[in-house]
């Protein structure tokens, strides 16, 4: 009856472990979850996952759990295991390994100075697609008993689930990285915009495989003025990415001559898009910076896009609130006004997409206030660093991709 009750508890725990491990997609989190789950299933005091290098001969990564803060301090400066002794034995002989006394085993290499004493070991290989990915190690049951055949069976069953979870996490990384790389290939590299300081950044959404529709562009004109564009095509798929690329290219062609006001460029773009078909809504903001007597004149027009954020040299930050206009593909007959503001030398203009400020559980204005406060706090940073600061500390929930384009006018 005791054995039956133990088996039932273990079975229930194993089912819960399968659900728990399978729910994670980030590989580092998956590895830690596997180790922690294995420790809980057999009552082990210590656990670790050793990930093999490309040769399959040594450990490239070692994920230990169960060590106290004092034990971790004692291992400060000690190199992580590379796969010698019993760990190496399991690498070269990937069958389940149970050892009651580690120090008495003929291939034991002992522990480095400062390592906590460990008596028993249970090790099993973890395979992904038929190839050994690494090894799961457990040491010292909390009840003081050695690991038994029941423990071995449970951890072997867990190792099968672990291999599937690891493969899913690796596929998640591959899809996310491939989508992000494709998205970045569609975005331009900023040209030489001197005397303006310029920087741009793009960050994908957290969900893997979702291509974004965010884009930016900037061009310096022959009269020392500069055209800057930010936009967002609704959607997260190949259609949105293709529409984004086409829209960016058309808008660059419409603004490159330097004679077309921002409102006229958006109006012409809207009419072209209406003729070429497609149903994806698009927001955009076109801004132009020209030399002025007292600094720089910013002229802009918006097609349903969030307003530009300006940080003057004194470090204050404010939005250029004006008629936002309708998104593209809504109504080509409605006029699009231009807006104008003279900025002092050394002003910073921040164009961004709503992925930088949007949270589904809060009003958009809260994100805008938070972004303005963030810009004020980092106002003195170089433009490239300011881009990273806004992207790293953004107030949004990260569910949408985000882009920002920053221009800083020459100082006095």
Contacts of 307 (CB under 8 A, 6+ apart): 285, 319, 320, 321, 322, 324
Task: Name the pairing type of β-strands 339-343 and 121-128.
Answer: unpaired
Q: Look at residue 46 in the predicted model and tell me its pLDDT.
A: 94
Q: Look at residue 175 in the predicted model and tell me its pLDDT.
A: 60
Q: Look at residue 363 in the predicted model and tell me its pLDDT.
A: 84
Give the integer Cα–Cα distance in Å for 248 and 214. Answer: 10
**What ranges in 187-276 are assigned the alpha helix state H?**
238-255, 262-276
Q: Which residues of the chain have pLDDT under 50?
A: 209
Give 257-316 pLDDT, tens digit per residue. 677 889 888 888 888 777 766 567 888 899 999 888 888 999 999 989 999 999 999 888
Nearest residue to 246 via CA among 222, 275, 205: 275
Q: Look at residue 130 in the predicted model and tell me its pLDDT.
A: 77
Q: Look at residue 99 in the predicted model and tell me its pLDDT.
A: 92
Tell me which H or E stretch contains 150: helix 149-186
The whole-model pTM stands at 0.59
Nearest residue to 118 via CA among 110, 127, 128: 110
The contacts found for 254-257 with CB under 8 angstroms, 24 or more apart, are 255/219, 255/227, 255/229, 255/286, 255/288, 256/219, 256/221, 256/227
Give 198-238 pLDDT, tens digit per residue. 998 888 766 554 556 788 888 888 777 899 999 888 755 55
């Amino acid at each position: 009856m005791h054995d039956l009750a133990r088996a039932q508890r273990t079975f229930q725990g194993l089912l819960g472990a399968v659900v728990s491990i399978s729910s994670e997609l980030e590989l580092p989190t998956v590895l830690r979850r596997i180790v922690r789950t294995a420790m809980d299933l057999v009552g082990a005091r210590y656990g670790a996952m050793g990930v093999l290098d490309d040769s399959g001969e040594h450990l490239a990564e070692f994920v230990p759990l169960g060590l106290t803060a004092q034990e971790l301090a004692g291992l400060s400066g000690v190199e992580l295991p590379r796969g010698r002794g019993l760990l190496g034995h399991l690498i070269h002989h990937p069958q389940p390994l149970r050892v009651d006394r580690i120090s008495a085993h003929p291939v034991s290499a002992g522990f480095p100075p400062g390592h906590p004493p460990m008596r028993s070991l249970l090790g099993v290989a973890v395979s992904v697609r038929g190839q050994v990915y690494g090894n799961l190690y457990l040491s010292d049951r909390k009840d003081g008993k050695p690991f038994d055949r029941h423990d071995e069976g449970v951890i072997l069953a867990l190792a099968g689930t672990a291999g599937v979870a690891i493969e899913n996490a690796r596929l998640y990384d591959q899809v996310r990285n491939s989508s992000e790389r494709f998205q970045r290939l569609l975005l331009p590299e900023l040209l030489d915009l001197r005397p303006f300081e310029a920087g741009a950044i793009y960050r994908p959404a957290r969900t893997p495989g979702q291509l974004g529709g965010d884009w930016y562009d900037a061009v310096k004109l022959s009269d020392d003025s500069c055209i800057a564009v930010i936009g967002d095509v609704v959607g997260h798929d190949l259609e949105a990415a293709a529409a984004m690329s086409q829209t960016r290219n058309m808008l660059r062609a419409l603004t490159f001559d330097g004679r077309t006001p921002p409102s006229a460029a958006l109006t012409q773009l809207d009419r072209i898009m209406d003729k070429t078909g497609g149903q994806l809504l698009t927001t955009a903001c076109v801004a132009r910076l020209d030399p002025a007597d007292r600094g720089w004149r910013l002229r802009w027009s918006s097609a349903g896009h969030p307003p530009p954020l300006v940080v003057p040299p004194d470090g204050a930050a404010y939005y250029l609130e004006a008629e936002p206009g309708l998104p593209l593909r809504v109504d080509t007959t409605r006029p699009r006004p231009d807006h104008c503001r003279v900025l002092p030398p050394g002003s910073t203009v921040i164009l961004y997409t709503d992925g930088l400020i949007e949270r589904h559980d809060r009003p958009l204005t809260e994100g805008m206030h938070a972004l303005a406060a963030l810009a004020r706090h980092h106002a003195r940073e170089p433009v490239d660093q300011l881009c990273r600061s806004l992207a790293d500390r953004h107030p949004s929930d990260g569910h949408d991709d985000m882009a920002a384009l920053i221009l800083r006018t020459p100082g006095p």
